[in-house]
Amino acid sequence: MDLIITPREGWTLLTLNRPLVRNALNTALLGDVAAQLARLDADPDCRAVVLTGAEGNFAAGADIGEIEHKSSLEGAFDPRKLHWLNIRGFSKPLIAAVDGFALGGGFELSLMADCMVLGATARVGLPETSLGLIPGAGGGQRLMALVGRARATRLVLTGEIIDAATAFDWGIAGWLANGPALPMAEDLATRLATRAPLALRAAKRSLVAGSEAALDLPGERAAFEALLDSADKTEGIRAFHEKRRPQFRGE
């Protein structure tokens, strides 16, 4: 089971469970997350959701194998776009409990959460340019809204991965745990589950609108799709598989 659903009193825990690939987000898993959030959105007994990863990692990016041969035309009709939209549309508090790697699509998923708790081992980043690509689910735009242009540019252009303390200091997350993230996230979900649900939904709706109204999310996605046909993407992914430095030619 790639997604483990654990109901709790007033809230639900969703665990990404592909530990052999550090919980990489293939299309099926992303669709399962979107479907479960849609179900829980309609469940009055669930007032918040915690999203975490199994065995020490949140999610180490998208599934490279799915991207490797994907063309720009396929990218334009990719079901992942609807999955991302539905995840962002979840109307209740969504908490990301991040341990280990949250990279690429995994980091983008955590940035869609309303509350992020970083564990001591957390490492976050958007290394897509190392593959000849850019973030494809709004990660660059959302990161810039959180940390400003200079720091977002630093991470997106260089592919740098930063530790939990740095991410917390930059304002990427609102909570930093001394150990694993999940206990602190569970406590937060328990507290949120006792608060007025209509007010929480209204507050989330207002905060999302305020933070994302000016973002060019469609433009970022279109740029990602165009790069799917590039020779640099092919070289970047080949180099990733071969564990060597890519030789990009701007083609």
Residue with more model confidence, 141 or 65: 141
85 lies in some domain = yes
Q: Which domain holds residue 172?
A: 3-180
In the beta sheet, which residues pair with residue 176? Answer: 118
**What was the pLDDT predicted at 124?**
98
Q: What is the pLDDT of residues 99-150, one digit of tens each?
A: 999 999 999 999 999 999 999 999 999 999 999 999 999 999 999 999 999 9
172 lies in some domain = yes
105 in catalytic set = yes
Q: How many domains does the chain have?
A: 1
Phi, psi dihedrals of residue 152, rounded to the nearest 5°: -65, -40
Which residues lie below 8 Å from residue 210, measured CB to CB, with a gap of 6+? none
**Reported confidence tier of residue 68, pLDDT bands at 50, 70, 90:** confident
247 lies in some domain = no
Phi, psi dihedrals of residue 69, rounded to the nearest 5°: -110, 15
174 in catalytic set = no
Q: Which of 108, 186, 220, 225 is catalytic?
A: 108
Mean pLDDT of the chain: 96
208 lies in some domain = no
245 lies in some domain = no
Q: Which of 53, 61, 105, 125 is catalytic?
A: 105
Name the CA radius of gyration of the chain, rounded.
17
191 lies in some domain = no
Strands across the sheet containing 94-98: 3-8, 11-16, 49-53, 94-98, 115-118, 175-176
Assign residue 147 the CATH number of its domain.
3.90.226.10
Per cent of the chain over pLDDT 90 is 93
Q: Which of 128, 186, 220, 225 is catalytic?
A: 128
Q: What is the pLDDT of residues 197-216, one digit of tens each?
A: 999 999 999 999 999 999 99
Average pLDDT of the residues in 19-28: 97
Average pLDDT of the residues in 26-34: 98
Q: Which of 54, 62, 97, 185 is catalytic?
A: 62
**What was the pLDDT predicted at 69?**
87
108 in catalytic set = yes
The dihedral region occupied by 22, where left means phi > 0, alpha psi between -120 and 50, and beta the remainder, is left
Q: What is the pLDDT of residues 9-18, one digit of tens each?
A: 999 999 999 9
151 lies in some domain = yes
81 lies in some domain = yes
**Reported confidence tier of residue 60, pLDDT bands at 50, 70, 90:** very high
**What was the pLDDT predicted at 198?**
98
9 in catalytic set = no
**Reported confidence tier of residue 23, pLDDT bands at 50, 70, 90:** very high
If we measure between CA atoms, which residue out of 159, 37, 156 comes closest to residue 95?
A: 37
